[in-house]
Structure 1
Amino acid sequence: MDENIVRSSPLFAALDEDGKQAVLASMKQEDYHRSAIIFREGDPGDRLFIIGSGKVKVGHASGDGPREPPGRARPGRDAGRAVTVRSAPRNATATVVAESTLYSLTQQDLYRVLAQRPEVARHLLASLARRLRKTNESLADLVFADVPGRVAKNVLDLAQRFGRQTDDGVMVAHGLTQEELAQLVGASRETVNKALADFASRGWIRLEARAVLISDVERLRRRAR
């Protein structure tokens, strides 16, 4: 099991080495293939998951609302991206986008860590606050921002998560289908594709299969405002 998963996770960053080893000993490593379902809407929220490697998308199994963008582990912040434990049933479905390794911690083990290490609870609250702020920002965008602006903002957000600098620009291998990208933006696929095509015609981006090459980050950033 990769010890760096606990060391690099913001949720457990405040633990000393003994505490991190205790958490690691309680974790279970699981490997998932592409398209595997980690959990479904309505399943018990009895485990916390941390993404070790790969990509996982978390969203509603049906409906026209926006999906949460896929999470992918990277050193530091994103290595600690977690689906938190709740007593209530899951309100979303987690699906593997690419071959992934996840580390899970049961509700009982997490509560034991929280009882023994109060500093972890502070990090957990901070993580939940960031998620709430992100949700509020997304709702505000749906109300006040036009579709091209939302498309630009989401492409930049995906670039921050998955972007890789190349000689031609920032390559964003997001792995989303056109329908999933439209759900992420909160608009129809046709409208989102029209906005992307407009950005491409202006030379800001280049569209590829489940990927975008951003040629002009600054112009895209201005359009996202």
Structure 2
Amino acid sequence: MNNLELLRGVPMFARLDAAHLRLLSASLGSQTFGRGATIFCQGSLGNTLYLIVSGQVRIYTNSQLGQEISVMIFRDGDFFGELSLLDGHERSASAVAMRTTTTLTLHRTAFLDAIRSYPEIAVSVLEELSARLRHSNTYIEHLASTSAPQRVVRTLLDLADQHGIIEQGTTRINLHLTQDDLASLAGTTRETVNRVLAGLREQGLIQIERARLSVLNLAQLEQVTV
């Protein structure tokens, strides 16, 4: 599959016609990261936008105590690394490949040229940034106002909403997730995640097979108090 075909599958570029896509594809590179590979680090200079062709990427920050706090998980068709390209500042977070991940890469100069030339891209970027800002505000509110077990349940509900695939009444979260990943997303410890998941399994609300988690009853999970 060539760059033009790959671009067509990226929502941010869905508004562009074939001529614009051809011009933009000429500026793209490609990079593949193995599972666990660091893509970039918080505080580093950033000059590349990444568009995920296939794979899974976790965006996280480090607290003052050295704890990793995951902010977002991105999959096929998502883009990340755009903030440093827009303002020229250091990376505000780190990115790591959770699975083998192939990305298209766009240098800052080409990215800014594309935005200037194609207002449609700027609109898509602003829409996505607005959605991510709302997500971050909600995430911060949950961290400040809920207990650790409650945050684990909220994280499962959010993941089911963002990455869930409904199959015969069950919502399968279409991500490869470890308990460490869930702990980082919920801002808590692995031990707390383990305890909460065990309780939810006993209640028949979730199922876990090979780092794949399914919610068996979303309505009941919404009512859980822990």
State TM-score, norm by structure 2: 0.86
Q: Distance in 2 between matches of 1:69 and 1:198?
A: 25
Structure 1 residue 183 corresponds to structure 2 residue 184: yes
Q: 1:187 to 1:93 in 2, by over 3 A?
A: same
Does 2:69 correspond to 1:66? Answer: yes
* RMSD between aligned residues: 2.3
My pick for the range that moved more, 105-114 or 122-131, is: 122-131
Q: Which residue of 2 aligns with 1:92?
A: 93
Structure 2: gaps of 5 or more residues: none
Does the 8 Å contact 1:44/1:90 carry over to 2?
Answer: yes
Q: Deviations over 1:166-218 (max 9, x none)?
A: 45833335333322211210122222222212211111012334222221122
**2-structure distance, mates of 1:56, 1:180:** 11
Task: Return the alpha-carbon distance in structure 1 between the equivalents of residues 219 and 92 of structure 2.
Answer: 36
Change (3 A) 1:42 1:149: same
Q: For the structure 1 residues 80 and 18, does the alpha-carbon distance in structure 2 shift closer, same or farther, using more than 3 Å as the test? A: farther
- How many matched pairs? 219
**Structure 1 residues 36 and 120, CA, compared in 2 at 3 Å: closer, same or farther?**
same
Identical-residue share of aligned pairs (%): 29
Using the alignment, how far apart are the partners of 1:37 and 1:141 within structure 2? 27
Q: Please say if residues 206 and 217 of structure 2, whose CA atoms lie closer than 8 Å, have aligned partners that are also in contact.
A: yes
The CA distance in 1 between the partners of 2:191 and 2:50, in whole Å, is 34
- Report Cα offsets for 1:23-52 as digits up to 9, x if no partner: 111111112221222112222110110111
After superposition, the Cα gap between the structure-2 partners of 1:204 and 1:64, relative to the gap in structure 1 and judged at 3 Å, is same
Distance 2:18 2:139 in 1: 37
Whether the aligned pair in 2 keeps the contact of 1:151 and 1:185 (CA below 8 Å) is yes
> Does the Cα contact within 8 Å between 2:205 and 2:220 map onto a contact in 1?
yes
1:206 is aligned to 2:204? no
Are the equivalent residues in 2 in contact too, given 1:46–1:85 (CA < 8 A)? no
Give CA deviations for 1:70-95 in whole Å, capped at 9, x if unaligned. Answer: 2111xxxxx13332151111122211
- Stretches of structure 1 that go unaligned for 5 or more consecutive residues are 74-78
Q: Determine if contact 1:85/1:107 at 8 Å carries over to the other structure.
A: no
Judge conservation of contact 2:36–2:99 (CA < 8 Å) in 1: yes
| Cα separation, 2, equivalents of 1:173 and 1:133 | 22
Q: SS at 2:223's partner residue?
A: helix
Larger displacement relative to structure 2 (148-157 or 162-171): 162-171
The secondary structure found in structure 2 opposite 1:38 is strand
The whole-number CA distance in structure 1 between the counterparts of 2:35 and 2:180 is 18
Please list, as runs of the form range in 1=range in 2, the aligned pairs for 1:34-45 lying within 5 A after superposition.
34-45=35-46
* Distance in 2 (alpha carbons) for counterparts of 1:16 and 1:212: 38
In 2 relative to 1, CA 173–13 (structure 1 residues): closer, same or farther, beyond 3 Å? Answer: closer
**8 Å contact from structure 2 (residues 49, 79) kept in 1:** no
For the residue of structure 1 that corresponds to 2:175, the secondary structure is coil
Match of 1:26 in 2: 27
The whole-number CA distance in structure 2 between the counterparts of 1:4 and 1:144 is 45
What is residue 82 of structure 1 aligned with on the other side?
Answer: 80
